[in-house]
Chain A
Amino acid sequence: MESDVSRRRRAIAAAGLLLLGALVASGWLEARVQESPQASLKPAAAAPEQDKPAAPRPAKERMAVYVILAWVWLSIAVLLAFLRLRVREADRVHRMGLHRAGDGPPGAPGH
């Protein structure tokens, strides 16, 4: 039972990652298509203006964003660990058939 659950969870994670990877890759491909000029048969675009830069230029802002990103992932990892503990606790209560007792949403009658 336990291994079955974890296998399924791993499969879910793998599928999710695959989907996200495909999405990001398609976005990247699109961006590339947008940049690369088409075959020479067609008229050259008359000196296309450069796209406005998307990412911040100041190195300081860039660094700050990367630091924030790292911090975000760290806190997500910690949060996931906490959630996991909480899920285990809730599942144990559920298996014991006690889930109705004293574990309703806030505002539920008898809370």
Chain B
Amino acid sequence: MKLPASLYSRRAFLNGLIGGWLAALGSAFISPLLKYIVPPTPEPDQVTVPFADYKDMAPHTVKGFAWGNKPGLLQRTEAGEYVAFVGVCTHLDCNVSFVAEQRRFYCACHEGWYDENGLNVAGPPPSPLRRLSVSVEGDTLIVKRQG
């Protein structure tokens, strides 16, 4: 006697149904875990620092401040204005330093250079340093995200 085909296909269908259901259930369990393992670390919208600490900077010098978990670099220009950068190399995230004698920013990790305006001029960095906007209000210096 020939077995009716539906006997087998019913089992295959149920197996597939259970397997697919388990996969969906599994991903439902896993997605909150994936959420959990990345903690939120929002970048600050703005940072305020006492102006007194930065008042006496000479032109073409740079002083650091904390931009969230990253170093910020506050620079005084020839005209006496303040410019701020996120002091993190755009190549692979190392912290940069300001070389006063050459008026350039330098990343020691892979020898990247930026000019005084934060433009990438030598080495592997693909883009300029990120700029932040600076304003002075009374005794405080406010650094904000640009754009």
A, B bound:
yes
A positions within 8 Å CB-CB of B: 42-43
Q: Shortest Cβ distance from A2 into chain B, in angstroms? A: 56
Please, which residues of chain B bring their CB within 8 A of the CB of A42?
99, 106, 108, 111
B90 CB–A CB distance under 8 Å? no
Consensus secondary structure, chain B interface: strand
Q: Is the interface of A mostly helix, strand, loop or mixed?
A: loop
Cα distance A42–B111 in the bound complex, in angstroms:
9
User: Measured between alpha carbons, how far is A43 from B99 in the docked complex, in Å?
Assistant: 6
* A-B residue pairs in contact (CB < 8 Å), sample of 7: A42-B99, A42-B106, A42-B108, A42-B111, A43-B97, A43-B99, A43-B106
Complex CA–CA separation, A109 to B108 (angstroms):
65
How far apart are B71's CB and chain A's nearest CB, in angstroms? 14
Instruction: Across the A-B interface, give the 3 residue pairs with the lowest CB-CB distance, nearest first.
Output: A43-B99, A43-B97, A43-B106
Residue count of chain B within 8 Å CB distance of chain A:
5
The residue of chain A having its C-beta at the shortest distance from the C-beta of B104 within the complex is A43
Over the window 29-44 of chain B, the binary record of Cβ atoms lying under 8 Å from chain A Cβ atoms (1 yes, 0 no) is 0000000000000000
Contacts of B108 in A (CB 8 A): 42
B88-131 vs A: 1/0 string, CB under 8 Å? 00000000010100000010100100000000000000000000
Shortest A34–chain B CB gap in Å is 13
Nearest-Cβ distance from residue B96 to partner chain A, whole angstroms: 10
Closest to B98 in A: A43
Residues of chain A lying within 8 A (CB to CB) of residue B97: 43
Report the bound CA distance from A69 to B126 in whole Å.
Answer: 52
Q: What separation, in Å, do the CA atoms of A43 and B106 have in the docked complex? A: 8
Complex: A42 Cα to B108 Cα, angstroms: 8
B109 CB, nearest partner CB in chain A, Å: 12
Q: How far is the CA of A42 from the CA of B110 in the complex (A)?
A: 12
* B111 contacts across to A, CB distance below 8 A: 42
CA distance A6 to B71 in the complex (A): 63
Q: How far is the CB of A75 from chain B (nearest CB, A)?
A: 46
Q: Which chain A residue lies CB-closest to B108?
A: A42
Q: How far is the CA of A42 from the CA of B97 in the complex (A)?
A: 10
Determine the chain B residues whose CB is within 8 A of the CB of A43 once the complex forms.
Answer: 97, 99, 106
Q: In the assembly, what is the distance between CA of A42 and CA of B99, in Å?
A: 8
